[in-house]
Amino acid sequence: MKTDILRARLLEAQLDLAHRREQSVILLLTGHAVTHKGRLVNELNHWLENRHTEVHALGPSSEERERPYWWRFWRRIPDRGRIGIFIHGWYGDALFARAERRLSSGAFRDRLAEIRAFEAELAAEGVVLLKLWMDIDRSTQRRQLQALQKDPVRGWQLNDTDWQRHLQHAAIGALGREMREATAADHAPWRRLDFRDPADQLQRVGALLRETLVAPPDAPSVVPGVVPDVASSAPSIRLADSRSKAALEKEPYAEQLAEAQGRLAINAREAARRRIPVVLAFEGIDAAGKGGSIHRITAALDARQYRVHRIAAPSDEELALPWAWRFWRRLPADGRIAIFDRSWYGRVLVERVEELAPEAAWRRAYGEIREFERQLLVHGTVLCKLFLSISHEEQLRRFEARAAKPHKRHKLTEEDWRNRERWDDYREAIDEMFARTEAPGAEWALIACDDKRQARLRVLESVNQRLEARLVSPI
Amino acid sequence: MKTDILRARLLEAQLDLAHRREQSVILLLTGHAVTHKGRLVNELNHWLENRHTEVHALGPSSEERERPYWWRFWRRIPDRGRIGIFIHGWYGDALFARAERRLSSGAFRDRLAEIRAFEAELAAEGVVLLKLWMDIDRSTQRRQLQALQKDPVRGWQLNDTDWQRHLQHAAIGALGREMREATAADHAPWRRLDFRDPADQLQRVGALLRETLVAPPDAPSVVPGVVPDVASSAPSIRLADSRSKAALEKEPYAEQLAEAQGRLAINAREAARRRIPVVLAFEGIDAAGKGGSIHRITAALDARQYRVHRIAAPSDEELALPWAWRFWRRLPADGRIAIFDRSWYGRVLVERVEELAPEAAWRRAYGEIREFERQLLVHGTVLCKLFLSISHEEQLRRFEARAAKPHKRHKLTEEDWRNRERWDDYREAIDEMFARTEAPGAEWALIACDDKRQARLRVLESVNQRLEARLVSPI
């Protein structure tokens, strides 16, 4: 295709993408040094409508370093309708750290597995991926480096890292092959560009990008989890069994509550001092008492340390991005506590039961959630997942009590009654959720809440235990 | 009022705020050290529904330091329906820096003027403010410090800063008075709390907050500008005069374009090296050629350095915050370039003419814009405001040409024709905009665009001149 025609067609395809707002596109470039990635991105960028394009090439900020590794990429995912161009993106860290032996071979392979899961999740959510490996042979690279060094105009572009990467040319080449083999997929293909034919490059990349825009690959039906699906091996937890025994009297409750809150205050302060981030995810049956339990937690915390995130319907900005984005954006910085009042589990609970998400989407979510939680843990987050349950009869009593009290009536909606009618569907979804998302460090605490006092103490106990298990280690 | 009743009524008022989602509330506490601000905030926070509350007490992150001073506060403004509690907030910096003589008295007064403008802008946009000054006399403060120092449980709360602030007690007291006098307003009142009566404090603050929630003060009708309104002293620019003379031929154009872009490339790289942020704001008549001009700019830039922000209708997250928030959130980090394709001037152009904002709101915006731009300049931002104009006849020619070309038809909408009918209204709005928002460092460049080539060269020339004027200084 002639350059002018290609350029016009590429722009046309981009405007169509922007107009439809159904998918976004990520073009990622990585590979050897001095392969003119920057120039290529610039030239391509001139072909595109830059109101719908963004380029990402910078290292992590302090806010990024204080959160799980993938946060820095999640926050840069383009909205539907936009094209994001990443230089090195999530490949550079792994590639160069491994080449310099700062990363073990096992850790490198783990990262590749994470990349596979990340890219599959994006692709399944409407992010179209195209990845370019920029190749150059060693002697051409040396000649380029020498020429650049002598060039009075462009010499500033050169730095020590480029020479270092030249010395590691063979290692980077081999690692690049391993990386491409491990992360190539129909939904996230690799293309190799050889530096020796630079005249052709822009044309080739433009054509590849246009093809991708015009005929994006099918989204993957399965997202490969880094954490295997453990379903059914974990015991299914029967909610009917969760009724608590004898009620707890007011006085021993007050005493035990004060003690548990005192413990929590000390634990939370120690977590802040050691800059350990904490995530509490509350799920539960309507009227089980999530709000009251969260209050008993926050009563023990310094208000400067935590934030409660009430998860309701997504905003329009959130709807323009993969579903998990709205949880990533709320992750706490190191030393801080995020309390989720309902959480990412809505995907496999309300969205499943109310058919807000197609079956393929919520089925896929189990693996996505396991991976999300694993990444929190890898970063050092203390994760507490609490499920508050009540019996069917107790729920009815509480609904009726709410309906009777004017100042509590706002807490009871039509939706609550509707959900109640679907009790069995929810139970099935809850059981499957437990079975598929139980993992070491991400265990569920099931709290029987028919007796509110006992429930609150058990919530506190559960959070305290989780924190103490972590704080027991000296660092 | 009895504590229990007060607490219930406060909660009721908060839930009403959350339900209505029309206003947000900021409670700010500042004042002397060891006045138990943290404890008070914690206790108050327990009274509130923490799903609709957020507490802010931390120092600036690197991302915050890399942007104009007020960015760190703008990003923390609570959404409508929420309560934000700020410890020291935007007062702590000024107060303590001045007490330690890191801030001159003139700079301190300037900051107070900025605070007045900031608070008035928030209040006018539906943010209700309540500010508390925590007082303590010097000898009580010393006794408190000594007691804390001996306390094995709470001793960790104490640090050197507390003792330092004790030594500066008189200065902080005097500065506090000056600060309160300068920033007290009906829409942002100060209340003084004396430490010697701590039992009463929570009750008092709860009552104050409830009063504020139940009967929020009227929004100010005038926002005091730090920059005075200069209207009419600046010459009104007649758009009809903007027709350009003889057309520029293709060849000299190509040559001059390449030269101007080369200059821009060098200037932009130098700005990046010196970590100078750059903001380009493009406004103009429909079909004047904003898009084409922006392309000629970005063609000269490294794609990694800039981002184009196309300003269309606000998102629902943006609608939940003061109107200027969506421009603050897009400000570039140091060394980067943000190009606004339409800008904050929409407030006094399309929102005025189409009556999307009430007259009081867009009238107020002139001052808010002057202050916004002044804050960019104070931070060291290079600001270029470009207005691209064409004659009424030329616009018709371009609309008809677009309608005739299939691949350009998408660029012409019903709205364009509607806007064209309101040409005179827009002209009036544009003239007033020029007159009221011209300021040193924030001058408008009016570009006559009937001849596209000359227009593009003049856009580049204007941006280059602005950058060079800044880069000429050695630091």
| Contact between A159 and A33 (Cβ < 8 Å) | no
Task: Write the DSSP string, B375-437.
Answer: HHHHHT-EEEEEEEE--HHHHHHHHHHHHH-GGGGGG--HHHHHHHHTHHHHHHHHHHHHHHH
DSSP H helical ranges for B30-75: 37-47, 62-65, 71-74
* Of B52, B299, B310, Cβ closest to residue A46: B299
* Of B52, B57, B304, Cβ closest to residue A304: B57
Q: How far apart are CA B118 and CA B372, in angstroms?
A: 9
Burial B145-158 (b: 16+ CB within 10 A, else e): beebeeeeeeeeeb
Q: Do the Cβ atoms of B19 and A410 come within 8 Å?
A: yes
Contact status of B413 with chain A (Cβ, < 8 Å): no
| Contact between A18 and A25 (Cβ < 8 Å) | no
Which among A238, A239, A248 is positioned nearest to A389, based on CA atoms? A239
Q: What is the pLDDT of residues B356-369, one digit of tens each?
A: 999 999 999 999 99
Q: Is the pLDDT score of B197 beyond 80? A: no
Q: Do the Cβ atoms of A304 and B62 come within 8 Å?
A: no
Q: Mean pLDDT score of chain A, rounded to an integer?
A: 92
Per-residue pLDDT band for A240 (boundaries 50, 70, 90) equals: very low
Domains in chain A: ranges and CATH:
3-214 (3.40.50.300), 239-471 (3.40.50.300)
Q: What is the pLDDT of residues A181-195, one digit of tens each?
A: 999 999 999 999 998
| Contact between A116 and A224 (Cβ < 8 Å) | yes
Per-residue pLDDT band for A413 (boundaries 50, 70, 90) equals: confident
Which element (helix H / strand E) includes A310? strand A306-310
The distance of A213 to chain B (nearest Cα, Å) reads: 17
Q: Do the Cβ atoms of B46 and A19 come within 8 Å?
A: no
Q: How many CB pairs under 8 A join A and B?
A: 94
Q: How far apart are CA A281 and CA A344, in angstroms?
A: 9
Closest residue, chain A, to B309 (C-alpha)? A51
Sheet containing B53-56: order of strands: B53-56, B83-87, B24-31, B127-135, B190-194
Q: What ipTM was predicted for this assembly?
A: 0.87
Q: How far apart are CA A197 and CA A200, in angstroms?
A: 6
Q: Do the Cβ atoms of A304 and B341 come within 8 Å?
A: no
Which among B167, B162, B161, B212 is positioned nearest to B187, based on CA atoms? B212
Per-residue pLDDT band for B238 (boundaries 50, 70, 90) equals: low
Which regions of B32-126 does DSSP assign to beta strands (E)? Answer: 53-56, 83-87
Q: Is the pLDDT score of A107 beyond 80? A: yes
Query: Given CA atoms B385, B390, B396, B399 in this order, what sign does their dihedral have?
Result: negative
Q: Mean pLDDT, to the nearest integer, of A416-445?
A: 93
Phi and psi angles of residue A336, each rounded to the nearest 5 degrees, phi first = -115, 165
Q: How far apart are CA A349 and CA B463, in angstroms?
A: 54
Which among A442, A420, A446 is positioned nearest to A431, based on CA atoms? A446
Q: How far apart are CA A115 and CA A120, in angstroms?
A: 8
| Contact between B98 and B175 (Cβ < 8 Å) | yes
Which regions of B161-271 does DSSP assign to beta strands (E)? Answer: 190-194
Q: Mean pLDDT, to the nearest integer, of B373-390?
A: 96
Contact status of B228 with chain A (Cβ, < 8 Å): no
Q: What do you get for the CA distance between the two ends of chain A, in Å?
A: 61
- The C-alpha torsion from A297 through A300 and A303 to A305, rounded to 10°, is -80
Instruction: For residue B35, give the DSSP letter.
Output: S
Q: Is the pLDDT score of B23 beyond 70? A: yes
Q: Is the pLDDT score of B396 beyond 60? A: yes
* Of B8, B51, B62, Cβ closest to residue A310: B51
Contact status of A262 with chain B (Cβ, < 8 Å): no
Q: Taking the mean position of all CA atoms in its chain, how far away is CA B416? A: 29
Q: Show which of residues 370-409 on chain A sit within 8 Å of chain B, judged by CB atoms.
A: 407
Q: How far apart are CA B402 and CA B404, in angstroms?
A: 5
- What residues does A230 pair with on adjacent strands? none
Q: Mean pLDDT, to the nearest integer, of A377-403?
A: 94
Contact status of A29 with chain B (Cβ, < 8 Å): no
Q: Is the pLDDT score of A235 beyond 60? A: no
Per-residue pLDDT band for B240 (boundaries 50, 70, 90) equals: very low
Per-residue pLDDT band for B199 (boundaries 50, 70, 90) equals: confident
Which element (helix H / strand E) includes A339? strand A337-341
Tokens, residue A407 = 């100042």
Q: How far apart are CA A472 and CA A253, in angstroms?
A: 27
B163 vs B234, higher pLDDT: B163
Site of tokens 């197609």: A358
Query: Given CA atoms B301, B302, B304, B305 in this order, what sign does their dihedral have?
Result: negative
- The C-alpha torsion from A256 through A258 and A264 to A270, rounded to 10°, is -130
Q: Is the pLDDT score of A242 beyond 80? A: no
Q: Do the Cβ atoms of A410 and B61 come within 8 Å?
A: no
The distance of A110 to chain B (nearest Cα, Å) reads: 29
Phi and psi angles of residue A338, each rounded to the nearest 5 degrees, phi first = -110, 125
| Contact between A308 and B50 (Cβ < 8 Å) | yes
| Chain A residue numbers touching B85 (CB-CB < 8 A) | 303
Q: Is the pLDDT score of B254 beyond 50? A: yes
Per-residue pLDDT band for A437 (boundaries 50, 70, 90) equals: very high
Q: How far lies B128's CA from each of A285, B17, B26, B211, in Å? A: 36, 11, 6, 11
| Contact between A351 and A301 (Cβ < 8 Å) | no
| Contact between B329 and B338 (Cβ < 8 Å) | no
Q: Mean pLDDT score of chain B, rounded to an integer?
A: 92
Contact status of A51 with chain B (Cβ, < 8 Å): yes
* Of A38, A294, A307, Cβ closest to residue B302: A38
Closest residue, chain A, to B19 (C-alpha)? A410
Closest residue, chain B, to A309 (C-alpha)? B51
Site of tokens 């890898």: A378
Q: What are the respective helix, strand and coil percentages of chain A, to the nearest 5? A: 55, 15, 30
| Contact between A77 and A106 (Cβ < 8 Å) | no
The distance of B307 to chain A (nearest Cα, Å) reads: 6
Tokens, residue A437 = 């998302």
Which among A62, A79, A64 is positioned nearest to A23, based on CA atoms? A79
Q: Is the pLDDT score of A467 beyond 80? A: yes
Q: Mean pLDDT, to the nearest integer, of A150-176?
A: 89
Strand B24-31 relative to strand B83-87, pairing: parallel
Instruction: For residue A184, give the DSSP letter.
Output: -
Q: Given phi > 0 = left and psi -120 to 50 = alpha, else beta, which region is A325? A: alpha
Q: Mean pLDDT, to the nearest integer, of A202-217?
A: 95
Q: Mean pLDDT, to the nearest integer, of B103-126?
A: 95
Per-residue pLDDT band for A245 (boundaries 50, 70, 90) equals: low
Q: How far apart are CA B371 and CA A76, in angstroms?
A: 30
Contact status of B317 with chain A (Cβ, < 8 Å): yes
Q: Mean pLDDT, to the nearest integer, of A155-167?
A: 87
What is residue A318's predicted lDDT score, i.e. its pLDDT? 97
Q: Do the Cβ atoms of A315 and B310 come within 8 Å?
A: no
Contact status of A261 with chain B (Cβ, < 8 Å): no
Q: What percent of chain B has pLDDT over 90?
A: 80
| Chain B residue numbers touching A298 (CB-CB < 8 A) | 45-46, 50
Q: Do the Cβ atoms of B315 and A310 come within 8 Å?
A: no
Closest residue, chain B, to A66 (C-alpha)? B61
What is residue B245's predicted lDDT score, i.e. its pLDDT? 63
